[in-house]
Structure 1
Amino acid sequence: MDNYGAHLGQGRARDSQARRDAVTVEIGYALCSAVFLAAVVFGVVAGPAWAFDLSDAAQGTLVASGATLGAVLFTVRVVSVLNRFARENGAADGPQPSQPGRTNPDS
């Protein structure tokens, strides 16, 4: 392989590593922002259970509702952030060729 070909291979490796790094950062962002959102929502919904003198049934309902809503919003946030990242970065363009230089996996 000549120097030009070797240089192209290194560029692909750097691009591949950069892509993996970007995916890792985006996953971390999705998880951290989802945890924050879930914690805030849980606190807002379940907070009155501890702040006020409520019956045990009301406290249980508020805590269960806060936990459920927090879990649902956590999931929605992670999925929406990762879907947006995939759309913006072309991950939904279809399968990659099976061999370098080929344009169709069946060719």
Structure 2
Amino acid sequence: MGRRTQAERDAMTVETGFALVTAAVLAGLTFAAVSAPALLLLDLGGAARTAVLSVAVTTAAVAFVARVVHVLWRFPSRQRGHRLDGTPDPAGRGRPGPTEPAP
């Protein structure tokens, strides 16, 4: 593997930040969606409340990890000029330079 350019390092930094921020938002929403109905609408005892919070935390953690992996897993193929389904992008997006030959 060769040395990366500054632009490639910057792109990876931005992509990592995007992955972490969107994963944190998704985890927060997942936690709220799992825990809020049970905790706000039902009168739960101590053990049931602990169980609901445990399930909510676990689900939020899984959602966080899944989002980070999903975003970072597809990043290299987008850099090589491929669509998200893995097929080459005929428009050449993702590659530097002109995509059409000069007339």
Q: Pick from 72, 93, 102: which aligns with 1:82?
A: 72
How far apart in 2 are the matches of 1:71 and 1:81?
A: 16
Count of aligned pairs between the two proteins: 77
Between stretches 37-46 and 49-58, larger displacement belongs to 49-58
**4+ runs of 1 displaced by more than 2 Å?**
none
How far apart in 1 are the matches of 2:35 and 2:48?
A: 10
Instruction: Write the letter of the residue equivalent to 2:61.
Output: A
Q: Is 1:49–1:62's contact at 8 Å kept on the other side of the alignment?
A: yes
| Cα offset, 1:49, TM superposition | 4.4
Percent identity (aligned) = 43
| Cα offset, 1:56, TM superposition | 1.4
Say which SS state the counterpart of residue 54 (structure 1) adopts: coil
| Cα offset, 1:16, TM superposition | 0.8
Q: Is 1:27–1:82's contact at 8 Å kept on the other side of the alignment?
A: yes
- Name stretches of at least 5 consecutive residues in structure 1 with no aligned partner: 1-12, 91-107
Instruction: Write the letter of the residue equivalent to 1:83.
Output: W
- Name stretches of at least 5 consecutive residues in structure 2 with no aligned partner: 81-103
| Cα offset, 1:50, TM superposition | 3.5
Q: Identify, as 1 or 2, the structure richer in helix.
A: 1
TM-score, structure 1 as length reference: 0.65
Q: CA 1:62 to 1:43, structure 2 compared with 1: closer, same or farther past 3 Å?
A: same
Within 5 Å, give how 1:1-107 maps onto structure 2: 16-51=5-40, 52-90=42-80
How far apart in 1 are the matches of 2:76 and 2:57?
A: 29
How far apart in 1 are the matches of 2:71 and 2:78?
A: 11
